[in-house]
Chain A
């Protein structure tokens, strides 16, 4: 049974927008979430170009102006929000790493963690 870590309430995530989180208290955001209605798309905040580097250009800013793509603030690599697949830029052909999540009956958003390693599964 994986452990979970509370991130926020669903109603704290503006629909159609993105937010970054630091669930493992590393000192910077390591998870980013895009909300579309009841559906969330959660990925590691790590561009596949360099593997571990953060993508936002400002706190919570992960999307293009139209809100239709995840864009890395390092070199503008564009990712499909639903699949995490890079469609343009340095990470072309690679994908963001999805992070499992649940929203419980109370509307709390949790990430699921690997209990042995205290990291994302």
Chain B
């Protein structure tokens, strides 16, 4: 069952205009966006889709503050789609939609869709770093810093759920081929589906039922500099930093989380670890130290320069 990861997240939002502006400023590209919502795509076509929460025909709300209505997974091929349909069909209704995708609920009541992935293949360089002792990644006269660099989210990386029963939820996703790559005791498992090497495309956090929903989602950027640059530009547009920038331990991904009008955090991330079947999951107790290698906080630009204020002339007296 080669599930790759989330192709799209569908939200029923309170303020379509605010969310559309937010997702555009975050760096996604609006496709077919109207006053009633639309699709906001990363470079590979993975997306966040928004509609007004009161519009007819939307999947039902969860009854919590969460605005997430559906998580749409991309799978490798029609065989994988059929395998998912058969597995889910063993114990729950599976609907086939007119676009060829299938739809069913997970064991926590999150609505899932599955489709043959619509991701466009990306061919882009990673951030190139020069280091003593290593071959040059940027040859002579190639400058790393570009004030005007366009940095755009490349692909939808992962989504994080608040779930009332993380053990049961993990069991459900295991049936679909998700494997635990690492575990934070007191929170839950990082899960990697079989169709990707990424450390996780899903992380589960155990919470009381009234919190059920999405904690955050994130798109992969081209490297740590892009996380910092995109985040700095986002702050400069008035958006509220929540946590970061920093670097996680599990997954090793650089992170920067922001508040949003979508009822969840929205993150920039980059440089996540890749794993295969030989990896042995680690397990530690949730703590600040376990959650990050280091943590910084944005401040306004500043520069040390010149003499102290009392020595303005710099000319010795006498």
Contacts and interface: CB of A to CB of B under 8 A. Distances in A.
Interface of A: 27, 53-59, 61, 64-65, 71-78, 88-90, 92
Interface string B244-286: 0000000000000011111111000000000000000000000
Given A65-B15, A75-B213, A55 B259 contact: yes
A74 B242 contact: yes
Interface string B39-74: 000000000000000000000000011110000000
Interface residues of B, number: 29
Nearest to B257: A74
A75 B64 CA distance: 10
A76 B213 CA distance: 10
Contact of B242 (A27, A54, A65, A78): A54
A54 B297 CA distance: 14
27 contacts: A27-B299, A53-B242, A54-B242, A57-B18, A57-B240, A57-B259, A57-B260, A57-B261, A58-B237, A58-B238, A64-B14, A64-B15, A73-B260, A73-B261, A74-B242, A74-B259, A75-B66, A75-B211, A75-B215, A75-B263, A75-B264, A76-B213, A88-B64, A89-B65, A90-B162, A90-B210, A90-B211
Contacts, number: 74
B242 A71 contact: no
Contacts of A71: 14, 261
B234 to A, nearest CB: 10
Contacts of B22: 57-58
A37 to B, nearest CB: 23
Nearest to B299: A27
Contact of A90 (B65, B259, B299): B65
A58 B242 contact: no
Nearest to A45: B240
A69 B116 CA distance: 40
Most buried by B among A27, A57, A92: A57
Contacts of B64: 88-89
Given A64-B15, A65-B18, A76 B240 contact: no
B66 A74 contact: no
Contact of B240 (A27, A58, A90): A58
Of all A-B residue pairs in the complex, the 10 with the closest CB atoms, nearest first, are: A76-B263, A73-B259, A89-B65, A76-B65, A65-B15, A59-B238, A57-B259, A58-B238, A90-B211, A88-B65
B239 interface: yes
Given A57-B260, A65-B14, A65-B15, A78 B240 contact: no
B233 to A, nearest CB: 14
Contacts of A55: 259
A75 B65 contact: yes
A93 to B, nearest CB: 9
Nearest to A65: B15
Most buried by B among A53, A59, A73, A78: A73
B164 to A, nearest CB: 13
Contact of A78 (B65, B211, B258, B260): B65
